[in-house]
């Protein structure tokens, strides 16, 4: 993720400032940077930045999560939860893939030289692995169709060399064409020796002089822990053999990671949503949550709001480049039961008579009504 500026810093506030302070700072800065009236440089970008900071801090739940985890709390944006992948995720992965493979265009070049041995073409192989395999690493056997050098003649098509009888060693065939305008001479590459001037003395019986062997090659690929969708592994010299004894191209294994039914991943961090009941949210509880390494526990304090995020440190995935292990973020979702038993209904009705929320809301409406009187 690109590094983003701290929301409080953007608004010119100190960390943990109140929502009222956030609103005041936003009003002031929005006026200052509004693209229609501002004379500042990059007013539009600054305005957007201020707006985003305001949106992240003016909502009590978002602010609470931001105060605890900073921008990491935004990993839940676009969360698919238990529903799995959709088309947009896939498109994103595809873009990611082609960004990572920026130099892929060069991969199949190199086979167009003139004469002499040429390095063979590279091969691309797409490999699907599970979320857990990507997290912990794995070893996979893959089978690829591959051109290898003939084992008998080592790619040369036979033994020894002698002068080509067709072109007499000249590498080219000359043709004279007589026309009413004179005689034209055309020169073409000798098809017998393909421009080398020599041919093998004893043609290899195994490959009939072609020098190559088409095989289905089995290869064990070691997938490192922490690999992500769109990453690729390069296996040097595991591509196709070149012509006339030329070297081997490379094999590129492009990895695609399957969606997980519980976790979503963003770099080294993983995200999950866990439902809790209304009474658990009110009274507080301890719940078991799934992690990549068995069960974990989180303590839900009494009065927890829906959307609150908890962190399980070091329960994420190892970052391939830094070696840091990510964290797991669990967002609790307070569920409203769709059906209740008779006993539950009686209890909830009793609760409704005592409902402090209703009183709070009544007070809220009264405050608003007062405002409009002025
Ligand atoms: Zn051969
Ligand atoms: Zn020839």
**Is residue 233 included in any domain, yes or no?**
yes
Whether the predicted pLDDT of 182 surpasses 50 = yes
How much is the average pLDDT of 166-175?
A: 91
Whether the predicted pLDDT of 2 surpasses 90 = no
Contact 218, 183 (CB under 8 A): no
Cβ-based neighbour number of residue 371 at 10 Å: 8
Q: Any idea which ligand is nearest the CA of 195?
A: 2
Whether the predicted pLDDT of 89 surpasses 70 = no
- DSSP letters, 317-329, are -B-TTT--B--EE
Q: How many residues does the chain have?
A: 374
- Centre of ligand 1 from the C-alpha of residue 207, in Å: 4
- Centre of ligand 1 from the C-alpha of residue 213, in Å: 8
Distance CA 147, CA 131 (A): 33
- Across the chain, mean pLDDT equals 83
- Centre of ligand 1 from the C-alpha of residue 158, in Å: 6
Cβ-based neighbour number of residue 35 at 10 Å: 13
- Centre of ligand 2 from the C-alpha of residue 199, in Å: 7
Model pTM?
0.64
What pairs with residue 288 in β-bridges?
297
User: In a 3-state reduction of DSSP, which class is residue 60?
Assistant: helix
Lowest mean pLDDT among 37-46, 159-168, 228-237, 260-269: 37-46
**Is residue 109 included in any domain, yes or no?**
yes
Distance CA 306, CA 310 (A): 12
**Is residue 372 included in any domain, yes or no?**
no
Whether the predicted pLDDT of 108 surpasses 70 = no
Q: What is the pLDDT of residues 255-288, one digit of tens each?
A: 999 999 999 999 999 999 999 999 999 999 999 9
**Is residue 223 included in any domain, yes or no?**
yes
- Centre of ligand 1 from the C-alpha of residue 151, in Å: 6
Res 310: pLDDT:
96
- Centre of ligand 1 from the C-alpha of residue 205, in Å: 6
- Centre of ligand 2 from the C-alpha of residue 163, in Å: 8
Whether the predicted pLDDT of 41 surpasses 90 = no
Q: Taking the CA atoms of 330, 335, 341 and 346 in sequence, report the sign of the dihedral they define.
A: positive
CATH number at residue 225: 2.60.260.20
**Is residue 210 included in any domain, yes or no?**
no
Whether the predicted pLDDT of 162 surpasses 80 = yes
User: In a 3-state reduction of DSSP, which class is residue 355?
Assistant: coil
The dihedrals phi and psi of 46, each to the nearest 5 degrees, come to: -65, -40
Whether the predicted pLDDT of 179 surpasses 90 = no
Distance CA 338, CA 26 (A): 40
Q: Any idea which ligand is nearest the CA of 162?
A: 2
Higher-scoring residue by pLDDT: 230, 115: 230
Radius of gyration over alpha carbons of the chain, in Å?
34
Whether the predicted pLDDT of 184 surpasses 90 = no
- Centre of ligand 2 from the C-alpha of residue 164, in Å: 4
Lowest mean pLDDT among 131-135, 224-228, 319-323: 319-323
- Centre of ligand 2 from the C-alpha of residue 193, in Å: 4
Whether the predicted pLDDT of 137 surpasses 90 = yes
Res 275: pLDDT:
94
- The domain containing residue 129 runs over which residues? 87-144+216-257
Residue 373 pLDDT class (50, 70, 90 cuts):
low
Distance CA 16, CA 28 (A): 19
**Is residue 228 included in any domain, yes or no?**
yes
Contact 264, 270 (CB under 8 A): yes
Whether the predicted pLDDT of 107 surpasses 70 = no
- Centre of ligand 1 from the C-alpha of residue 159, in Å: 9
Whether the predicted pLDDT of 112 surpasses 70 = no
Res 309: pLDDT:
96
- Centre of ligand 2 from the C-alpha of residue 110, in Å: 24
Most confident by average pLDDT, 116-120, 131-135, 194-198 = 131-135
- Centre of ligand 2 from the C-alpha of residue 190, in Å: 5
Q: What is the pLDDT of residues 51-70, one digit of tens each?
A: 889 988 988 888 888 888 88
> Which residues have CB less than 5 Å away from ligand 1 (the ion)?
150, 152-153, 204, 206-207
Going by C-beta distance under 8 Å and a sequence separation of 6 or more, which residues neighbour residue 3? none
Residue with tokens 């051109």: 147
- Centre of ligand 2 from the C-alpha of residue 211, in Å: 18
- Centre of ligand 2 from the C-alpha of residue 201, in Å: 13
Distance CA 136, CA 321 (A): 15
- Centre of ligand 1 from the C-alpha of residue 150, in Å: 5
User: In a 3-state reduction of DSSP, which class is residue 275?
Assistant: strand
Q: Any idea which ligand is nearest the CA of 202?
A: 1
Whether the predicted pLDDT of 100 surpasses 60 = no
Distance CA 215, CA 227 (A): 29
Contact 56, 77 (CB under 8 A): no
Q: Any idea which ligand is nearest the CA of 173?
A: 2
- Structural domain total, the chain: 1
Contact 51, 90 (CB under 8 A): no
Q: Any idea which ligand is nearest the CA of 206?
A: 1
Res 181: pLDDT:
82
What pairs with residue 88 in β-bridges?
none
**Is residue 221 included in any domain, yes or no?**
yes
Res 222: pLDDT:
94
**Is residue 226 included in any domain, yes or no?**
yes
Q: Which two tokens stand for residue 312?
A: 């399980």
């Amino acid at each position: 993720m690109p590094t983003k500026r701290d929301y409080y810093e953007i608004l010119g506030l100190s960390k943990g400032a109140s929502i009222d302070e956030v609103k005041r700072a936003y009003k002031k800065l929005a006026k200052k940077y509004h693209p229609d009236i501002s004379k500042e440089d990059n007013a539009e970008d600054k305005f957007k930045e201020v707006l985003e900071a305001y949106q992240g801090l003016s909502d009590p739940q978002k602010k609470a999560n931001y105060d605890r985890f900073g921008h990491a709390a935004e990993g839940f944006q676009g969360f698919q939860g238990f529903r799995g992948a959709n088309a947009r995720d896939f498109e994103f992965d595809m873009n990611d893939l082609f960004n990572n493979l920026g130099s892929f265009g060069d991969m199949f070049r190199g086979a167009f030289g003139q004469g002499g041995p040429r390095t063979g073409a590279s091969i691309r192989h797409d490999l699907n692995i599970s979320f857990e395999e990507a997290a912990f690493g794995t070893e996979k056997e893959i089978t690829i169709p591959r051109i290898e050098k003939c084992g008998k003649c080592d790619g040369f098509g036979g033994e020894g060399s002698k002068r080509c009888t067709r072109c007499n060693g000249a590498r080219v065939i000359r043709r004279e064409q007589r026309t009413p305008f004179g005689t034209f001479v055309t020169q073409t590459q000798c098809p017998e020796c393909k421009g080398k001037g020599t041919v093998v003395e004893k043609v290899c019986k195994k490959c009939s002089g072609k020098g190559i062997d088409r095989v289905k090659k089995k290869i064990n690929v070691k997938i490192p822990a922490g690999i992500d969708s769109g990453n690729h592994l390069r296996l040097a010299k595991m591509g196709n053999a070149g012509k006339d004894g030329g070297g081997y191209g490379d094999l590129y294994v492009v990895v695609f990671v399957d969606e997980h039914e519980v976790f979503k991943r963003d770099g080294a961090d993983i995200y999950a949503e866990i439902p809790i009941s209304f009474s658990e949210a009110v009274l507080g509880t301890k719940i078991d949550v799934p992690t990549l390494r068995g069960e974990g526990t989180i303590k839900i304090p009494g009065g927890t709001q829906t959307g609150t995020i908890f962190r399980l440190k070091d329960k994420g995935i190892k970052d391939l480049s830094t070696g840091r292990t990510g964290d797991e973020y669990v967002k609790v979702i307070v569920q409203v039961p769709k059906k209740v038993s008779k006993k539950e209904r009686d209890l909830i009705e009793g609760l409704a008579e005592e409902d402090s929320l209703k009183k709070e809301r009544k007070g809220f409406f009264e405050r608003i009504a007062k405002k409009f009187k002025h």
